[in-house]
Amino acid sequence: MTQLLMHAGGDYCTLDDLRNIPLPEETPTYKPVSHFDLATNLAEVSGTLLRDYQLDRSQYGLARDGNQLFGVHTYRNGSDSMGLSIGFRNSYDKSMSVGIAIGASVFVCDNLALTGEIAIARKHTSNVWQDLEELTITTIYRSQHNFHRIVEDSQLMQGHHLSDDDAYRLTGLLYGHGIISPRQIPVVKKEWLTPSHDDFEDRNMWSFYNAVTEALKGSPPNKIMERHIGLHQ
């Protein structure tokens, strides 16, 4: 399985690992959200609302000694190429709010596509779990529309030819707009010129898109969702 987080300090982990990370102490103004509870509650609500989908895989990545989490739950509905994905993040060090975003995963490479906006919970106050439940339900209700939009976009991109020079120009634009970092530029170039997966050997926008999403796996948890959404825009 392709690593979700490849940046320095990022570690792949299991659901049991999330359970074992100590939760910060609660204060009168701060109620921490458990990484484990967030992941399991999302899976439970998604399983109830996404009736035509089956959970295919769950991936979790940690950074900053377990203080930052980024996770993805991917669901199948009959397609062999793409599945509906729910990306989410959380932190124990107050570095980022709980966030949820909807998108798709490409099965052959675990590349992630996100679209729309990140649904962000209010600060970790006493009502945080009530806020999260409402946020989760609202976001998942929109998920199938977002997923079908990404599938349609992928089909359009496959019909858009790109030359090497086109790909290099787009790489520069993505760097200029802060979608990719300097260290991710060589990854984009490598994946474009010599793709890790045969599915992306065609010289089109979809192959370039996946070269970029391969590079974005090296983004830190507090930026990975925004960068994927910025790419899709």
pLDDT at residue number 117: 67
Give the Cα separation of 228 and 56 in Å (integer).
Answer: 21
Lowest-confidence segment of 12-26, 82-96, 117-131 by average pLDDT? 117-131
Q: Where are the domains of the chain?
A: 11-232
Q: What distance in Å separates the CA atoms of residue 31 and residue 124, rounded to the nearest whole number?
A: 5
How far apart are the C-alpha atoms of 228 and 14, rounded to whole Å? 23
pLDDT in tens, 119-163: 776 666 667 777 788 888 888 888 888 888 888 999 999 999 999
Pair 104, 83: CB distance under 8 Å: yes
Gap between the Cα atoms of 167 and 190, Å rounded: 11
